[in-house]
Amino acid sequence: MRGGVVATVDSANSLVEALAIDDGWVVATGDDGEIASYIGPDTEVIELDGRLAVPGFIEGHGHLLGLGAGKTILDLNAATSWQGIVSMVADAVADADPGKWIRGRGWHQEKWDEPPDPAVAGHPTHASLSAVSPANPVLLVHASGHAAFANAAALEAAGYERGSEPPPGGELQRDAEGNLTGLLRETAQRPVAAAYERSLADLSPEETEARFRREVALATEEALSKGVTSFHDAGASFATIDRLRRLEDEDALQIRLYVMARSQNEELERRLAEYYMPSEGDDYLVVRSIKRQIDGALGSHGAWLLEPYADLPSSTGLVLESVEDISATAHLAIRHGFQLSTHAIGDRANREVLDIYEAVFDSADAGRDLRWRIEHAQHVHPSDIARFAELGVIASVQGIHATSDAPWVPLRIGDERAAERTYLWRTLLDAGVVVGNGTDTPVEDIDPLASFRASVTRQTAAGSVFHPEQRMTREEALRSYTLSNAYAAFEEEYKGSLEVGKVGDVVVLDRDILTVPDADLAEARVDLTVVGGVVRYSRQVRHVVDPLR
């Protein structure tokens, strides 16, 4: 690559004109004249023509199969009313055989321009949904993934009745007469999801494998089109890891995966040793982290708070996995040499996880360089900020969440707490905390450029700016999406910057996101995505023929 601006993201944030990649590795960076000597008769030369090249973006927290599956179900992200969602379901039912499940994802009540009628606490009841789909179970997952809506057929398939209780850490919404409305919060979704999985029992092993491969392929294609060359998969079963291993054995993966294993402690104890797969350089599948989840999401009143919700004073949120259980996981992680990555959104949740980490580090005399992570770290009490740095805990944030959530965060926790504790990126960085970045796809579009823009502007879709004092600089935001995420996966020696001896993962953009005016950032696009020296996506010429190579 030559004739442009190459942001190396090295320790000095050096900018050069060109770079050379040989056999998948960066072998030189410098000006065009210095790189000319690397051009031979068989060299592919990419003329940057003044464009910006950056290290391949690393999605710091996403859900690979969720991204792929989301391409095969109803996309509710653009829905502006409950009735519009019901109409989408009705259209899907018209094309479905009786008994087939209708699934969708992406609705958010704060996006609706008219309230549902009838409604319970601002949410619809399942009556209209059940009316258009009496013979087809329907499961519609909230944009956050922390709530869902089910019709009568889906509730019945899950075994939910009027007097049913949800699993621990979940809530079933009821109307004034005690009837289920169909709204499922947090773990209350699991029986319905399990009923859907049972409906797939008749698939042959070949059909199941084909379905899995299609979801991986669709997710890969989308990731590459957005410049994502590596992906931190935040929670996969051992069965999923086995399937990914087969793809890696076939050299079929096109993006590099860093997978967090997710299971109960009993299974973790039995199986962790055989699944320890640290990075050795040019890897496409790495497993050395465990995922746990202590609370839910703020939007669904599931985040665990120190004080009650402003708009729900009877609640401080939900505890999805107990402190004792996560503490036991932490001890397992220490014994097996695994990183622990724990979902924590509320300020109480973040404090409890820091307490767990500190107690385990001290009891095991483990030091402070384990690179354990807190996923999301959205709402943190100021007194806990320094503890991230003191314990070496990585804050794995999602820039785009701040601007997506900004319209309703003050409703949940009030203006004072929102200003003091919410999306404190500047405060974390100034305290010396390593901050990674991502999108939590499919919660948000897997678009690093959108999350980059949110990180540096804090500007919402409506044009307002949400607590601009917490903005990142552009160099910080780029580093959070590249080298910091590589560090969070113990891979900074191999990736995350464009330096000699690192993998040739590069993204070419159509404009310089480090210098253009803020107003132009929304128009930035990925022109090329290169993984290991191979062009895997081109906006001009479609290089991705089969996303599983």
pLDDT at 548: 56
Quick one: CA torsion of 165, 170, 173, 176, rounded to 10 degrees?
A: 60
pLDDT at 545: 40
Which class does domain 294-472 fall in? alpha beta
The separation between CA 289 and the C-alpha centre of its own chain, rounded to angstroms, equals: 15
- Rounded to whole angstroms, how far apart are CA atoms 222 and 442? 11
Q: What is the pLDDT along the chain (549 residues), one digit of tens a residue?
A: 999 999 999 999 999 999 999 999 999 999 999 999 999 999 999 999 999 999 999 999 999 999 999 999 999 988 999 999 999 999 999 999 999 999 999 998 888 988 898 889 888 999 999 999 999 999 999 988 889 999 999 999 999 999 999 999 899 999 999 999 999 999 999 999 999 999 998 899 999 999 999 999 999 999 999 999 999 999 999 999 999 999 999 999 999 999 999 999 999 999 999 999 999 888 999 999 999 999 999 988 999 999 999 999 999 999 999 999 999 999 999 999 999 999 999 999 999 999 999 999 999 888 888 999 999 999 999 999 999 999 999 999 999 999 999 999 999 999 999 999 999 999 999 999 999 999 999 999 999 999 999 999 999 999 999 999 999 999 999 999 999 999 999 999 999 999 999 999 999 999 999 999 999 999 999 999 999 999 999 998 644 445 555
Q: What is the CATH number of domain 1-50+497-549?
A: 2.30.40.10
pLDDT at 542: 46
- Rounded to whole angstroms, how far apart are CA atoms 310 and 409? 10
- The helix-helix angle for 238-249 and 205-225 (nearest 10°) equals 70
pLDDT at 541: 65
Q: What is the CATH number of domain 71-199?
A: 3.10.310.70
Q: Where are the domains of the chain?
A: 1-50+497-549, 71-199, 294-472
Structure pTM?
0.92
Residue 410 burial (10 A CB sphere; 0-12, 13-18, 19+): middle
Instruction: Write the CB contacts of 364 (distance below 8 Å, at least 6 apart in sequence).
Output: 331, 334
**Strand pairing category for 147-150 and 138-142:** antiparallel
Residue 23, Cβ neighbours under 10 Å: how many?
9
SS3 sequence of 353-371: HHHHHHHHHHHCCCCCCCC
Residue 228 φ then ψ, to 5°: -85, 120
**Strand pairing category for 102-107 and 74-75:** parallel
Residue 501, Cβ neighbours under 10 Å: how many?
10
- Rounded to whole angstroms, how far apart are CA atoms 500 and 10? 10
pLDDT at 543: 44
Token couple for 174: 């009821």
